[in-house]
Structure 1
Amino acid sequence: MKFLLPLAGCCFALAPLVSAQVSVELALDQDQFLPGESLEVGVRITNFSGQTLHLGKDNDWLRFTIEGRDNYIVPGSDDVPVQGEFDVESSTVVTRRVEVAAYFALTRPGRYLVTATVKLKQWDKELLSKPKAFDIIAGTKLWEQDFGVPNAAGQPPEVRKYALQQAIHLKQLKLYARVSDQSESRVFRVFPIGPMISFSKPECQIDKSSNLHVLYQTGAKSFNYSVINSDGRLLVRQTYEYTDTRPVLRVDREGRILIGGGARRGSSNDLPPPSEASSTNHAETSKP
């Protein structure tokens, strides 16, 4: 027994030794999210072990745990895609960014803690990060509309739902777009369109291709015009200004949706970028 004690002591001492040489930290781009909004976690691995770490060969090298109030463990999936081999050389730092919102049931507003466990197979050890806090906040629904997405020939269209929500993020009021199935049990995407002023009343129209056109006020004389497709991808983002007339959404004789009134103001924030923009109906302006 006298000979076994030092060996046991070495085994217990190895874990803190490894954690001192290799550390795992988590980072978030923001600390407030709407239910269904993308939640990308940055996993920062710092290596001062003197050896190169080989990670990502399989899908179990990295695991996430999300905990809510009263030690409630948020139900999640083991299928978070983290596979992809990479090396972390000694005296270097590598960050891997992983989208986790789609794999955890983050539907209830409240405070949450996310933790990551990194498995070092070459040493048969696991490292645990410190928890990173974030909040799920409840937005206010301003507008919603069911719409159809064409299916294969002979099949009825799939019914989805557009919704606009507003929420305060970092003391700033923002407008969010949400695309879900008709029952709202499956969310395809939630994302912020941009900041808005409190008295803005967004105008919404759905075109023949099932794209959502949104025009809303962002300042005393400025307006944001955005076009979103049925998968929740932002296709167009433009800025208009109130001149002698106010910008409004209009439908022409061919059923195209365009901006009537106001004046277009080019911006580096435009989508497509100014150099790529073509003369489509999205960029047209007509007199009211």
Structure 2
Amino acid sequence: MAFEVRSYPELSWSISRDKIFRECKRQYYYHYYGSHNGWLDDVPEETKQIYRLKHLTNLYMIFGESIHFIAENSINQWRLLKEFPKREELIASCKKNLNDAFKDSHLRSKWIDRPKKSLMLHEMYYDGLLPEKRTNDIRERLEPCIDNLLKSRTIRDITFTQDSSIIEVEQLNTFYILDDKLYVKLDLLYQDPIGRYVITDWKTGKEDENNQAQTLFYALYFKNQFPNVSLQQLRIRLEYLKDGECTEFEPTEEMLRWAKQQVIDSIEDMRIYIEDDNLNKPKHIDEFYPEPSKKACSSCNYRELCSHKI
């Protein structure tokens, strides 16, 4: 099937899209509309610039992605070989990912040419260096996160018995609510030795009350995929690898009704900024008013384009 170039992107929903929308409407415009088709040769330079900025990353993102990548590969290795990588291998892998991102960030011309295939750290792009406080923080987190991953309840479930069944690992999926497409990716879904389904979400930061609400969207996806499974057979687990803490809960029908309504309301709010529903053509950029704050603006990928930064 030939790739179709569309004038405007589709309107879909995801946890990350909702987060950006709520944080700043101007950032939302750049990320989902201004960057669209920025990979093509015959688009305006500003579109290419926005597309490049969309692909900026940062140290915390690289670190979190590295831990998730390590968890995914380790679980897949267990599925195939019934053995888990050594602690030293996992630490070395994570350090390499961080170092590679730092080295890539010195190759600006390579990133400009192929921003999706190369890495550019936000810290290096805007400041030309890595903040010492941030690098020290990640250095202090690295080994505890690996150690707590290895001794986590989830890994114990999977590796200490032969009766756990792994269903999904970091698999991007879609499902629908009222004809609207939702994207979701579970860190891990498995069935434990006593037959319960467990959704595990790895966290490399500190506990946040919003995390439980986020995981309810994963439960919505689960119920869509397994409509005949009772919610009493489902557990949602948050593994906080930085501190080694683990929280777990059983979602209820009331919780899922709340989560579904949150999605419906969020999509309706997004539609307010659309000029043509059929094309998903957005209103003028000026309608996407910035919501500046010191913290948000300093970490925003698009701050060089925005005159409202603090």
TM range (shorter): under 0.3
Output the TM-score relative to the length of structure 1.
0.23
Output the TM-score relative to the length of structure 2.
0.22
The structure with the largest alpha-carbon Rg is 1
Higher relative strand content:
1
Highest RCO, 1 vs 2 (Cα 8 Å, sep ≥ 6)? 2
Higher relative helix content:
2
